Amino acid sequence: MGVAAPPASAQPPPPPVAECNEPSCTPGIAPGIVLGSYCSNTTHYVFGVTSWGRLVFCGSPRRYEPRWFRSPEMHGVKNEGELCPGLDGDVAQAPDGLFLSCLSRDGRAAWEYGGNA
């Protein structure tokens, strides 16, 4: 009888994701956006940049047709529910592309779904 081969080892865990605290490292930012023009996705990968470098986001205030607006300060990629003290009103993107806003509730600021749809 032969000796059984040892079981294949499990794949090593993926390397940790690098910290991203600014737009330049955020994936999915659309180039060449015209401020005020129409856009289509207000929930995921909503950020873009104009030809002159201004960061914008696709939003639909008061249920009007979505357009590109100037973005509040953007802090890269964050996780929904993480604390964001001192950043109330600023924005970020979740790893899955979800639009996040830093909102203060009950004395604590955390990244929450932006809800600009």
How many domains does the chain fold into? 1
User: Does residue 5 lie in a domain region?
Assistant: no
When pLDDT is cut at 50, 70 and 90, the band that residue 57 belongs to is very high
Letter for the amino acid at 108? R
Q: How is residue 26 annotated by DSSP?
A: -
| pLDDT value of residue 3 | 54
The backbone torsions φ and ψ at residue 97, rounded to the nearest 5 degrees and listed phi first, read 95, -5
Mean pLDDT score of the chain, rounded to an integer? 87
Q: Residue 113: beta bridge partners?
A: 100
Phi-psi region of 25 (alpha: psi -120 to 50; beta: other; left: phi over 0): alpha
The candidate with the shortest Cα–Cα distance to 98, out of 73, 116, 72, is 116
User: Does residue 83 lie in a domain region?
Assistant: yes
Residue 42: pLDDT over 60: yes
Its pTM stands at 0.80
Range(s) of the domain holding residue 98: 23-113
Residue 17: pLDDT over 60: no
Letter for the amino acid at 99? F
| pLDDT value of residue 116 | 46
Tokens in use for 46? 């909503």
